[in-house]
Structure formats: structure tokens, C-alpha cells
Amino acid sequence: MVTHTPLKQPETRFRAGFLGGSQGPLFHIIHEPTAAPLRGCVLYIHPFAEELNKSRRMAALQARRLAGAGYRVMLPDLYGCGDSGGDFSEASWDLWLKDLSLCLEHLRASAPQAPVILWGLRTGCLLLGDLLRADEGITPAASLLWQPATNGELILTQFLRLRMAAGMMGGAKETTAQLRARLEGGEVLEVAGYGLSPALAIGLAGARLAPPRGGPVCWFEVAQGEDPAMSPASARVIEAWRGEGVNVRSAVVRGEAFWATQEIREVPGLLDETLRCLEEVC
């Protein structure tokens, strides 16, 4: 088990509030630099379902670190998530993309001349890519990808398996094919305490990670062991992107999968590498 003493954070300030979203209020926190000149604006796109809660600590630590280096960082809760309006069962992939566009518009309006950086974690990286495809007016100066999911179909299958595992403990037997059929029939499924709507499931299943346009891409993964290495699947994607001319910088840091651990974990090396990479490319 990798444990760390609490990290000393830079002096920054933050403010919290609500934006008017497409279907309801969107809660957000904005971390601001105090002394350093504004170097850019960063929009964070959180991961799916319970991974959001598990990763809040790391997202907040990174946001404060970035703010200390001169970046304004916005961390929104998407519709039906966290402290934003609505219920998870009412969310859809397209709705999340619309709300992300609103968040980005709000962030850019606060500093029109500042470079924009997009930062996603896990499924948030899929949303990041779809956001860029949906809005051609966005050209990020850089994209930060934390443990990016590359295939939404796999994420959906893994999520449905949580329901299958819980059902087996109660004597019920379901297959992913049966659950997918029920979703396609318009049913909202209860999975690990979350209501999964057909619209959200379809959008997630169809999402595939594509190289973000604009500036360099910083790709980070977390792995355990004395000599952590990039996963083979990620290495293939990175190689393919580089073959297409995408400027991809990658790094693997030692630590636990904080988005999925039972206890809240910190990975200081990821915070350090992210800031280092961003300062190099911007």
C-alpha cells in the first residue's frame, strides 16, 4: 500500500457557485492564483459515477497546485452529479457535453486572452474528445489526460458488471446482453446506487478516444510496482497518435488507482508530473 503524509499546498484562493446549465444548476469550484500572473484557464472534466467521489481529493490537490503556478482552474459537477441539479438517472452524454460547453464559455469569458487547457480523468477524457468534436471553436493550448479511457463500450460493460456481481450475491443471474437489451428497451437500470439511463448508456458506449486538436497532449498513467510501465493498450494508442503527427508527452508515475481505491489516496508524483509537463508545453 502506498501512503503519503499530507501534501503542503501553495497559497491560493477559491470560490464556489452555480451556473445555469442546460437542464439545471451546475455546481462548480474555481481555484484562482493569488500572486502569480494568469497563465491560462483550465477546465477539469471528472470521471464517471463513483470514480468522481474517489478522485475529488486528487483533483482538488492538482487544481490548487495549478492555481499556485498561475492557472485559473474550474472543477464543475456535471448534471446529476455531486452538488449539481438533477439526478444521475436524468443525465445523458449529450447533456453533459452541452453543460461542459457552458462551463468553458464561462471560464473563457473571465479571461478572453488566456490560453485554454482541458484536463480529463478516465471517462472525462472521452468527454473531452467529444467536446472538441462538437465545438470546432475550441482549440486548447494543451490537453491533460489522466488515465484516459479509450473505449466507452468497455467502461459501460465494466459498470454493468457491478450490477451483475451484486445480483449474484443475492441469487440473481443477469448477463450484460440482457442488461443492454433492457437499456435499449428504454429502462433505467440501478447500478451500484446509480440510475443509468438509456441515453447516457448509449452515449457512453459510442464514445472513443481521439487525439485532441490544438496544442500538445500530456498523457499520464498511474501504476504500482518498482518500475511502473505504460499499459500496452495505451502505448499503442500513443504510438498511433504520434504517427499522425500529434505531439504526445507521456509519463507513468508510481501509485495506487486513486479513482477506484476503497480509501481516498494521493499520488504526489502525478501532481508533480502534470505541472511539469504543462509548464513545458505552455
Q: Where exactly are the structural domains of the chain? A: 12-151+208-281, 152-206
pLDDT band of residue 2 (cuts 50, 70, 90) is very low
| Mean pLDDT taken over the chain | 93
The answer, yes or no, to whether residue 10 has pLDDT greater than 60, is: no
pLDDT band of residue 168 (cuts 50, 70, 90) is confident
Instruction: Please check whether residue 176 is in contact with residue 160, taking contact to mean a CB–CB distance below 8 angstroms.
Output: yes
- Tell me, what's the pLDDT at 226? 85
pTM, 2 dp:
0.94
CB atoms within 10 A of CB 5: 7
- Tell me, what's the pLDDT at 173? 83
- Tell me, what's the pLDDT at 136? 86
List, for residues 238-269, the tens digit of each pLDDT value.
999 999 999 999 999 999 999 999 999 999 99
List, for residues 50-89, the tens digit of each pLDDT value.
999 999 999 999 999 999 999 999 999 999 999 999 999 9
Cα–Cα distance, 266 to 256 (Å, whole number): 8
Calculate mean pLDDT across residues 186-198: 97
> Up-side HSE of residue 217: CA atoms within 13 Å toward CB?
26
Ranking 149-158, 166-175, 209-218 by mean pLDDT, the lowest is 166-175
Kindly provide the residue ranges of all beta strands, DSSP E only, lying in the chain, ordered along the sequence.
12-20, 25-33, 40-45, 71-76, 116-121, 142-146, 189-191, 194-196, 217-223, 248-254
12-151+208-281: CATH class: alpha beta
Cβ neighbors of 226 (< 8 A, separation 6 or more) are: 254
Calculate mean pLDDT across residues 91-97: 98
